[in-house]
Amino acid sequence: MRKNIAKLLAVPIIMILVVVSCGKDFLETQPYGSVNNELLATSAKGANALLIAAYSNLDGFSGWDNGSPWGGAASNWTFGSVVGGDAYKGSEAGDQPDITPLERGNVDANNPYLDGKWRNYYDGISRVNGAIKAFSALKEISPAEKTIRLAEARFLRAWFHYDLWRIFRNVPFIDETLTDVRIGNTTNILPKIQADLQAAVAGLPVTQAEVGRVTKGAAQTVLAITYLWEKKYSEAKAQLDAVVASGRYALNAKYHDNFNAATRNSREGVLEVQQSVNDGTTDNGNNGDVLNFPYNGGPAGCCGFHQPSQDLVNAFQVDANGLPLLDTYNNTDVKNDDGLKTSDAFTPHTGPLDPRLDWTVGRRGIPYLDWGKHPGSNWIRDQSYGGPYAPIKNTHYKSQEGSLTTSSGWTSGYNANNLKLVRYSDVLLLLAEAEVELGGLERARTLVNQIRQRAANPAGFVMDGANPAANYRCGLYTATWTDANTARKAVRFERRLELGTEGHRFFDLVRWGVASQVKTAYFAKERIKRTYLTGAAHVSPKNDIFPIPAKAITQSAKDGKPTLVQNPGY
Amino acid sequence: MKRLLPNPRRTGLLTVFFAFLVSMAFAQTKVGGRVTGGDTGGGLSGATVKVKGTANVVTTGADGSFSITVPGSNAVLEVSFVGYETMDVAVAGQSTVNVSLTVSAGALQAVVVTGYGSQERRSITGSVAVVDTREMTKYAASNIADQLQGKVPGVQMSTSGDPGSAAFVRIRGIGTINNNEPLYVIDGMPVQNESNINFLNPNDIESIQVLKDAASASIYGSRAANGVIVITTKKGKTGTSKLTVDMFYGHQTPAQIPELLSPTQFLQVQQDLAKGQGIPFTSNLFIRQGSNWVMPDFVVRGLGGFLAGDPAVNPNKYFLNLDPTGGGVGDYLILQANKAGTNWFKEVFRPAAQKNVQVSASGGSDKGSYFFSGNVYDHDGIMLNNDYRRYQARVNTLFKVRNWLRVGENLNVAYQTTRASMGNPNEGSPLINAYGVPALVPVYDIAGNFASPAGFGSALSNVVADLSRARENNGGHSFRITGSVFGEVDLAKFLTWKTSYGVDYNSGPGQGYGTRRYEAVEGNNNPNSLSNSYFQNRNWVFFSTLNFKKSFGDHKLDALAGYEAKQTYYEGFSAGGSQLAFDNFNYRLLQNVNPATFYMNSYRGEHNVLSTFVQGSYNFNDLYYASATVRRDGSSRFINNKYGIFPSGSVGWRLSNMKFMDNISAINDLKLRASYGILGNNEVGGDYPGFSNFGTSLGEANYDIRGTGNSNVTGFQQSSTGNPDLKWETTAVTNIGIDAVVLKDFNVMVEWYKRDTRDMIYNVELPLELGAVGRQAQNIGSMRNTGIDFSLGWNKRLTRDFNFNVAFTGSTVKNTVLKLEANDNSFIRSGGSRIGDITYTKAGLPISQFYGYVQQGLWASDADITKVLKTDKGDAKVGRFRYADLNNDGKIDNNDETYLGSPIPTFIMGLNLTANYKNFDFTMYWSGTYGQKLFNYVKYWTHFNAFQRNRAAEYLTEAGKSLPVIDGGDNYSSQRNSYYVEDGSFTRLRNLQIGYSLDQKMLTKFGLSRLRFYVQGQNLLTFTKYSGLDPDVTVSNITEGYASQRDLSIGVDNGRYPLARNFIFGVNLEF
């Protein structure tokens, strides 16, 4: 009997153990460290955080799952600068070989750079739409703030779509009302971009307390660019005039202050992507351009991409009056050290040059910020492949290492040098363009001279000791502009000099309808220097836009059929 | 009352007494001797020795010795032991009779652990492979998966030579595009989602059963879809106590070293690259002498190559700023070019030692039993500074408190360290670097510091430097406690209640330290850095079962009902920073980093499963068998479809027990069996697939909206897209098998199976316009595997001193993806690389097909190009690879790519030969895998114009023949194409072993019961056509990426850890 009691006791004890160990909620677990949308979207704090996350995509990086930072880079150093002929891919042939077909005009739809761009920006758009939904429904916020935040969001949505539009052209416009994003890409989305921008112009203040937030001026400028694409010159002029009239913006006294981390968010910045370092990650510090530094012993030490082209360098040649050689700039090369070792003797070009050259291009024998003189091939990864030049606009000063660059990470190329998507000089040049087309040639000349006046400031020259590092000359257009063609040529040329390697060039060429003509001439000369450009071609209209990523088409299937259509010719 | 009843023991004794009396009538003789296992030579304790025709029985002692009285000199002894063939031995007048038993071929009498209980092997109707652990442990290794390779039909196994690395185990093919890791059950404790069970000491293992079909595995329901490996560790045996010591020492050498370019050839290649591109050769490194280029005598970092006597190479100029916080500017590093050539493979992969010491003690009585073991395993990898160590102890005890109550525990404690593991075989791995660094680079520069490869080519590392630093990181420390406590109560003779609570606790500190890599090509200015991490995985399993076992005449009934709850919980953190003022080892604490560089992270998660199950089996007179199981599992991973029900049933028919078979003497045993059932899989690559959630991320969601330049404001981004309707992935398995013993010595097992997986779970990519949130777990497809597993055994005692055993296992598998609906598409691309996605998984084809262009020699002439490429020549050029224009549209583009082969082997085999002659034992073990193709991606680095690196010697010698003409502008030939795809079939002599056991007489003097010495050679021969270092390629890295996506890119050789050839000397000691 005793053992039966023991047995009878054992069973209930086990039963109790079972019940205690497994409560009702045992199979109801929730993820740690994150929150659901209800919690976020119903508070001002949450809605703002959703908007911040959308801002975070302005740099073109939203996580490795969406592609590399350089693939989606907001600076468009690949899609704008390399494809536009301002620069070569650079580095060595085997590194990032996916850029080569972009540069050569034979890209296919599987290229990961296309994918990266597409994913990053649509991710940004998705984030914006979440923020718009949250702010729209939010009650615990003042109407004034709500207006501004919604206007910011719509600007961001417009900007993301605009960049996709100018790269891929036939893209879907995704707004917060869609439940299924598979809407096809056969409708022109420019009107929707403009509607967002108009709403942004209406809702945004001229200045914001937080300098990283977008402003009315940015919205007006971007809206104006979309008008220029449509050749709606007076509409564009109206917006740009308003930006000028706001008095909010001015040119920096020194050209290079635009590319110095210490002088970011100056009055010349109309739309700047905020870059930060030593904030717990390296991903916020000029991530998209982190490969674009000299090589070996040079600043940041990696990875030698985005090497300026000889064509660009030649464009900085000037005549005795310091004016650009609009038609003959490429007849002779600016002297370079291609084929020379660092130990070989070399004297830099002695002819007159626009002073902006050495703030745009790192070249042998010229001081490279405070890093000493560019030593030539020692800072070049593979000279025979990528040429003798180095990029410089995204580079930090040696004296800024550790403070305005990251203190950790695999390269010190992560720096706080803000990316300027729109500078005030850009505004003035766009306005000059509109004026030329509207017959305001003299206004255009004044605007161009305003740009050149600043460039000509000797205080802003690259100095070698007490003397200018090269034979710098920058004169004003003194003669009246009477011929629209000449004026147009001068304005466009000025745009190249002022905004060289900043990612605008290709889109400008397409906007002006001259991409095929300019690039054909470019390839004819450059392929002799860079043999990998042999066989490269630009055929309009096919090459004016890039193929829709194959993956995007594949993933857009509805009932087994893709809803996105590939661009013609791809 | 009791006294009046006949006492069975007394009755027995009485019988013996009468028998004794009877035998007294004849000449009484004492016979002594020892029973040993023919396989190990070790004494078998507890073996039964019976005088034939009498009731005279004794049991052998701890060392296998016995003493028995026999009626006369012509008596015959019948010697039996579980797992061995019963043997009759004539005494023939001797006073000492030593008996060596042969391992039982079928071992049909054996009891095997299958589900929550055990079962007689003969009554099994499902597909259960019982592993011969004695044979298995003969192969000295750290990991049982390594030992199991080729031993179990239907199981594909592979491990890398990287010490302590995980294993690739696939039971009956690739069952799903999702997670394919089998479930390990160790002493009843399921070890969830594990591809590495190194914490187990292989010598502690008593038995391994592999449950391959639904009938046997469905008792484990969830996660059983990929098969179950049931591991039972050793227990003490009643009546014996013994101590064993096992030791071995191995000497490993790299099996193969590739032939790379010499410095002279390297210079030749550099010139040819320029020539092929049509540009003049120029170099910062090589020296121009007239029209020739020569090798430099010295190289100065950043300045290029120089000849001796140049002022630039004055050693006084040498300067290295070792400021650990960065800097490096102003360094002036000089190295002397190694014109003879540095063999980086030999610098990095060299002979290494493998050591193992293990001690165990075990014993038992009617009050309980114990097993204790301790093990120190020290495995140096053949890669420099790479090692794995295990310090492990196990205690298994059982207490028989009452005759109706037993309690006990199993406890395993393992401390493991791994250093300088090769990690993911990506392009930064030591292997790819050993291929790539030009031979002209010496290991050390003129000052004895690590030489810098800067200026020699692309982003390569001085591998010796990298591995020296990696040694300072204690990357993989883990302290793992696995065990359970259990109680068993016999509620009645036929009814047993068992309850068990098991834990699996794993935790460990990790510290990574990076000293400044002053010699690095890229990032040589980076400061030092420190990272600390800690993780803890805490899993527990509680189960309770009620087991009914009773015979009613010829009817045997066995039923089980049970309940189980299981929790998997994990958490951890990491923190780090850089710019420590000093590099001293003892200075490496987090507070010493520059605060501006500090970062931290933490994580946690859990997964719970609640299950109930019933099982019943019926046996009619060992003639007919039937069993059925139903298990219901609830998983916290699912929201709206938490529960899955997994039923199965099986039947068996032992034909050999039928009357009509009695006359067929050739067939000793014959059983037919068939089963069908459904299994589940809830491994979705995450524990919360049902939730759409938002999280913050410094780099991906936060933004410096205030323009500070050094801080950011928190943002929230959607981090997951939930699917609340996600449900269990299920696999239906049909299994038909035959077991037979014919002509006494031959064992045959043949099985046919079909595995149909439905509702395969995959993280489907949604339309890209949804942004990063566009991955969602969905049930998207189905897959079928069919195949045949078989094993053949022949076991023969040829003479009294010589026996021979052959075991052959083979399996075939055919894999087909039946349906895929990944966002309305019928394929998934995977295996991304420098040349794009290499593998395609598509409905109608096997999983993970290689994809690319079909290469047909080289473009022979411009006319050849023009003839084919009428529309667009693209980058085609004479001397480059010639691709087939499959769609005949006159150009080569993505539409010309096609499926290039399958990495799924068509046949896998294992051949085990053992023999014993007197005191010698001999083992030879072959394994082979056939019919699989491999994608040799390593060739991208060694055989093509990719980066400025050193390359295979073939690159030069085969240029213009089987390889393209050397051309620095050629990115056309290196695209994914059929050239990379090679036959991966191989046959390997994995183990050759000879052992010698000392004579018992000699040993007894020293109080020993067994002393055996052996020598073993591992991986002595490999027969293959594969050109890479090792054809044993499965997934590119078994620990890489989500387990749930690994099988989508199998067969891609990204550069495996080189195979080691191993010579081992070992000792087994027992007393």
Region A295-318: what's the mean pLDDT? 91
What gap in Å lies between CA A13 and CA A16, rounded to an integer? 5
Q: Reply yes or no on whether the pLDDT at B947 is more than 80.
A: no
Chain Cα centroid distance, residue A569: 26
Strand partners, A86: none
Q: Is pLDDT of B961 > 50?
A: yes
Give a three-class secondary structure readout of B511-556: EEEECCCCCCCCCCCCCCEEEEEEEEEEEEEEEEEEEEEEEECCEE
Question: A46-50, A231-235, B416-420: lowest mean pLDDT where?
Answer: B416-420
How many angstroms separate the Cα of B536 from the Cα of each of B186, B201, B390? 20, 22, 19
Q: Reduced to 3 states, what is the DSSP secondary structure of residue A9?
A: helix
Tokens at B48, concatenated: 């039964």
Helices and strands, number each (H, E), in chain B = 12, 54
Nearest Cα neighbor of B910 from B134, B150, B135 is B150
User: Average pLDDT over chain A, rounded to whole?
Assistant: 93
Percentage above 90 pLDDT, chain A: 79
Stretch B678-701: mean pLDDT: 89
- DSSP E strands in B771-821: the ranges are 775-799, 802-820
Smallest CA–CA distance from A342 into chain B, residue? B303
Q: Is B602 helix (H, G, I), strand (E, B) or coil?
A: strand
pLDDT recorded at residue B41: 63
Q: For B596, which of A58, A275, A278 is closest by C-beta distance? A: A278
Q: Is there a contact between B715 and A213 if contact means CB atoms under 8 Å apart?
A: no
Determine, for residues B526 and A409 on separate chains, whether the beta-carbon distance falls below 8 Å: yes
Interface A–B counts its CB contacts (< 8 A) at 354
How many H helices and E strands in chain A?
20, 10
Minimum distance, in Å, between the CA of residue B297 and any CA atom of chain A = 16
Q: Across the interface, do B608 and A97 touch by the CB < 8 Å criterion?
A: no
A56, A58, A96: best to mutate for the B interface, most B CBs within 10 A: A56
Rounded to the nearest angstrom, the minimum Cα separation between B577 and chain A is: 7
Task: Outline where B318-370 has alpha helix (H).
Answer: 344-348
Residue of higher predicted confidence among B135 and B867? B867
Are the C-beta atoms of residues B791 and B153 closer than 8 Å to each other? yes
Please answer yes or no on whether A409 and B598 come within 8 Å at the CB atom.
Answer: no
Three-class secondary structure of residue A399 per DSSP? helix
Of the listed ranges B2-16, B325-339, B553-567, B1000-1014, the least confidently predicted one is: B2-16
Place of tokens 């761009």: A117
Contact call for A35 and B635, based on CB within 8 A: no
Determine whether the interchain pair B767/A22 forms a contact, defined as Cβ–Cβ distance below 8 Å.
no
Alpha-carbon gap: A401 to the closest alpha carbon of chain B (Å) = 9
Judge: B523–A411 Cβ closer than 8 Å, yes or no: yes
Give phi and psi for A319, each to the nearest 5: -85, -175
pLDDT at residue B110 tops 90? no
Distance between first and last Cα of chain B: 46
- Looking at CA atoms only, how far is residue A564 from chain B in angstroms? 10
Lowest-confidence range among A190-199, A473-482, B850-859, B939-948? B939-948
Chain B residues with CB under 8 Å of A558 CB are: 824
Subunit contact A281:B599, Cβ cutoff 8 A: yes
- Going by the DSSP 8-state scheme, the letter that residue A290 receives in this structure is T
- The total of other beta-carbon atoms located within 10 Å of residue B351's CB is 12
Higher pLDDT, B137 or A157: A157
Residue of A nearest to B304 (CA): A378
The confidence band for A343, taking pLDDT boundaries of 50, 70 and 90, is: confident
User: B766 and A555: CB-CB below 8 Å?
Assistant: yes
B768 to A172: CB separation less than 8 angstroms, yes or no:
no
Q: What are the C-alpha distances in Å from B341 to residues B336, B437, B440, B950?
A: 11, 11, 5, 11
User: Given phi > 0 = left and psi -120 to 50 = alpha, else beta, which region is B1057?
Assistant: beta
Inform me whether the pLDDT recorded for B1044 exceeds 70.
Answer: no
Among A512-516, B103-107, B763-767, where is mean pLDDT lowest? B103-107
Q: What DSSP line would sit under A257-287, residue for residue?
A: GGG-GGG-S-TTEEEEE----SSS-STTSSG
User: For the residues A98-102, what does the mean pLDDT come to?
Assistant: 92
Nearest CA in chain A to B639: A28
d(CA A547, CA A100): 15
Percent of chain A at pLDDT above 70?
A: 96
Q: How far is A550 from chain B (nearest CA, A)?
A: 11
* Confidence (pLDDT) at B13: 43
Handedness of CA A236, A237, A238, A239 (dihedral sign): positive
Give the whole-angstrom CA distance, residue B145 versus residue B156: 10
Residue A18 has pLDDT above 70, yes or no: no
pLDDT > 90: percent of chain B: 51
Q: Measured between CB atoms, does B319 come within 8 Å of chain A? A: no
- B 986-1045 residues inside an 8 A Cβ radius of A: none
Number of other CB atoms surrounding residue B639 within 10 Å = 18
Which residues of B are less than 8 Å from A388 in CB distance? none
Contact B800/A at CB under 8 A: no
In this prediction, residue B22 has a pLDDT band, given cuts at 50, 70 and 90, of very low
- Using an 8 Å CB-CB cutoff, list chain A residues near B966: none
Q: Each residue of B563-604: pLDDT tens digit?
A: 999 999 999 999 999 889 998 889 999 999 988 888 899 999
Q: Do B282 and A383 touch (CB under 8 A)?
A: yes
Instruction: Copy the structure tokens of residue A315.
Output: 């464009």
Q: Could you tell me if A384 and A340 are in contact, meaning their C-beta atoms sit under 8 angstroms apart? A: no
pLDDT at B1043 over 60: no
Tell me the two tokens of residue B1001. Answer: 């007489």
Q: What is the pLDDT of residue B399?
A: 94
Six-digit token string for B932: 């699989």
B614 pLDDT above the threshold of 90:
yes
Helix (H, G, I), strand (E, B) or coil at B280: coil
Predicted confidence (pLDDT) at residue B816 exceeds the cutoff of 90: yes
* HSE, side-chain direction, 13 A CA sphere, residue B328: 30
Query: Are the Cβ atoms of A280 and B599 closer than 8 angstroms?
Result: yes
How far is B306 from B388, CA to CA, in rounded Å?
A: 43
At residue A410 the predicted structure's pLDDT band, cuts being 50, 70 and 90, is: confident
Q: Is residue B758's pLDDT more than 90?
A: yes
How far is residue B831's CA from residue B828's CA, in Å, rounded to a whole number? Answer: 10
E strand or H helix that includes residue A156: helix A143-168
Lowest mean pLDDT among A19-28, B708-717, B812-821: A19-28
- Angle among Cα B392, B394, B395 to the nearest 5 degrees reads 155
Q: What is the complex's ipTM, to 2 decimals? A: 0.94
In terms of C-beta distances under 8 Å and separation of at least 24 residues, what long-range contacts does A467-472 make, across chains too? Answer: A468/A355, A469/A358, A469/A366, A469/A367, A470/A348, A470/A349, A470/A350, A470/A353, A470/A355, A470/A357, A470/A358, A470/A366, A471/A349, A471/A350, A471/A351, A471/A352, A471/A353, A472/A352, A472/A353, A472/A354, A472/A355
pLDDT: which is higher, A534 or B102: A534
Contact between residue A436 and residue A444 where contact means Cβ atoms under 8 Å apart: yes
Find the largest Cα–Cα distance for chain B: 119
Residues in B closer than 8 angstroms to A282, CB to CB, are 699
> What count of other Cβ atoms lies within 10 Å of the Cβ of residue B591?
8
| Separation in Å, CA B1029 to CA B347, B939, B1054, B1055 | 17, 11, 11, 8
Q: Are B814 and B785 in contact (CB under 8 A)?
A: yes
Which pLDDT score is estimated for B352?
95
Rounded CA-CA distance B852/A53 in Å is 39
Residues of chain B with C-beta less than 8 angstroms from the C-beta of A275: 704, 709
What number of CA atoms fall less than 13 Å from residue B470's CA on the CB side? 21
Q: What is the average pLDDT across A332-339? A: 94
In angstroms, what separates the C-alpha of A370 from chain B's closest C-alpha? 13
- Please give, rounded to a whole number of angstroms, the shortest distance from the CA of B662 to a CA of chain A: 48
User: ∠ CA A350-A356-A360 to the nearest 5 degrees?
Assistant: 100
For the segment A23-32, the average pLDDT, to the nearest whole number, is 84
CA distance B188 to A112: 48
Distance of alpha carbon B413 from alpha carbon B506, whole angstroms? 10
CA B146 – CA B138 distance, rounded (Å): 11
Sign of CA dihedral B575, B581, B582, B586: negative
Residue with tokens 């102890």: B393
DSSP secondary structure letters along B859-923: ---HHHHHHH-SSB-TT--TTSEEEP-TT-SSB-SGGG-EEEE--S-SEEEEEEEEEEETTEEEE
3-state helix, strand, coil in chain A (%, to 5): 50, 5, 45
Q: Residue B942 above 90 pLDDT?
A: yes
Yes or no: say if B673 and B736 are a contact pair by the CB < 8 Å rule.
yes
Under the banding of pLDDT at 50, 70 and 90, the label for residue B165 is: confident
Give the pLDDT mean for B803-807: 90
pLDDT value for A378: 84
pLDDT, mean of residues B637-652: 94
Residues of A in contact with B696 (CB under 8 A): 49
Contact criterion met (CB below 8 Å) for B717 and A127: yes
Tell whether omega for the bond before A303 is within 30 degrees of 0, i.e. cis: yes
Q: What is the DSSP letter of A413?
A: T
Chain mean pLDDT for chain B: 87
pLDDT of the residue at B20: 42
B22-36, B286-300, B407-421, B439-453: least confidently modelled range: B22-36
Q: Do A27 and B718 touch (CB under 8 A)?
A: no
The helix (H) or strand (E) run that includes residue B565 is: strand B555-578
Asked if the C-beta of B968 comes within 8 angstroms of chain A's C-beta atoms, the answer is yes
Residues across chain A: 570
d(Cα B828, Cα B837) in Å, to the nearest integer?
Answer: 10
Compare CB distances from A93 to B610, B770, B969 and report the shortest one's residue.
B969
